[in-house]
Amino acid sequence: MKTERPRVAIQGIRASFHEEAAFKYFGEEIHTIECNSFKQTFEALQNKEADYVVMAIENSIAGSILPNYSLLLSYTFPVVGEVYVPIQLHLMALPGVRFENIKYVTSHPIAIRQCIDFFDEYPHLKIVESNDTAACAKRIRDEQLDDTVAIANTLAAKLYGLDVLERRIESNKKNFTRFLILTTHENVKKKKANKASLCFQVSNEVGALAKVLNIFAQENVNMSKIQSMPVLGKRNEYNFYVDIEWNDTKNYDAAIRQILKYTHNFNILGEYERFEEDPTPPLLKSEKPKRYINIKKLDQN
């Protein structure tokens, strides 16, 4: 019996890095729900217009996406998984366009900053910022812009029929984004969990947070991340977002029972399987990216 394709809400349009993350987690047989903002993805889930949300939560270079932590607490949808995607950025244009005729480069501002070393070599190019990498590729296709290149992923080049002029132009080749998978409580499927995302507050006194962290250590539970956010409208009060991992569920259960004594407004945002795949793409292990643009030839022109 054929099952219905899951409806997955993403921030951005098709062929964005969010859709790439969705493909990596669910496979390509999904129905992508395009949203203009992260809040809209949660609204789509709340209104039953989507079955899942895929949301970026941190990047290895840019750091945590702080507003998205607030969304986790505001909507209380459970986290049911995670996936890491290597951010590989390529330069793409309409078929037949030559790089020496390019005047404009367009992409998301974070993607542009991650490629700054490449564009230092071409100071004559004008940078145009946009709100989505894939949307830039789509605009080049839709408006037939023959003087503009986009910075995006290979999905965008394939979907919108663009040629890749230069591969892997990002300055740091070990750049990854972590995405969380969320759903409604009724869609949660029981899986063997070995990772959890928590949120809690502690009293504003000496050693209050240390007591909680020591419990994790004593119970052999690894804390893989901690992020603090001020509690809106309350001075010197913070929400602590913590990711923890364990090998034995008994250790996790024991740790949770103990830390409840030292925290308030405690929430388990989700219990799920940690991402185990080696996120380092083969290119980083064995070879350097191939250059397609002859810089000396361009200088001579």
Q: What are the structural domain ranges in the chain?
A: 90-172+293-300, 192-272
Average pLDDT, the chain: 91
Residue 291 has pLDDT above 60, yes or no: no
**Per-residue pLDDT, 97:** 96
The values of phi and psi at residue 134, to 5°, are -65, -35
Q: Give the mean model confidence (pLDDT) for residues 206-229.
A: 96
- Sorting pLDDT into bands at 50, 70 and 90, what band is 233? confident
Residue 280 has pLDDT above 80, yes or no: no
**Per-residue pLDDT, 292:** 47
Cα(93)–Cα(149) distance, integer angstroms? 5
Cα(106)–Cα(12) distance, integer angstroms? 16
The values of phi and psi at residue 265, to 5°, are 50, 45
Task: Give domain 192-272's CATH number out of 3.40.190.10, 3.40.50.880, 1.10.3720.10, 3.30.70.260.
Answer: 3.30.70.260
Residue 207 has pLDDT above 80, yes or no: yes
Q: Give the mean model confidence (pLDDT) for residues 273-290.
A: 58
- Sorting pLDDT into bands at 50, 70 and 90, what band is 204? confident
- Sorting pLDDT into bands at 50, 70 and 90, what band is 14? very high
**Per-residue pLDDT, 232:** 86
Q: Give the mean model confidence (pLDDT) for residues 214-238.
A: 94
**Per-residue pLDDT, 148:** 98
**Per-residue pLDDT, 3:** 59
Cα(124)–Cα(202) distance, integer angstroms? 53
For 253-279, the pLDDT digits (tens) are 999 999 999 999 999 999 999 998 755
Residue 285 has pLDDT above 60, yes or no: no
**Per-residue pLDDT, 40:** 98
Cα(288)–Cα(265) distance, integer angstroms? 49
Closest CA to 59 of 18, 27, 25, 91: 18
In the Cβ-directed half-sphere of 225, how many Cα atoms lie within 13 Å? Answer: 18
**Per-residue pLDDT, 234:** 86
Q: What is the DSSP letter of 6?
A: P
Instruction: Give percent above pLDDT 70 in the chain.
Output: 91
Residue 96 has pLDDT above 80, yes or no: yes
Cα(61)–Cα(196) distance, integer angstroms? 23
Closest CA to 56 of 162, 177, 171: 177
* 90-172+293-300 is a CATH 3.30.470.20 domain: no
- Sorting pLDDT into bands at 50, 70 and 90, what band is 290? very low
- Sorting pLDDT into bands at 50, 70 and 90, what band is 53? very high
Closest CA to 14 of 58, 45, 54: 54
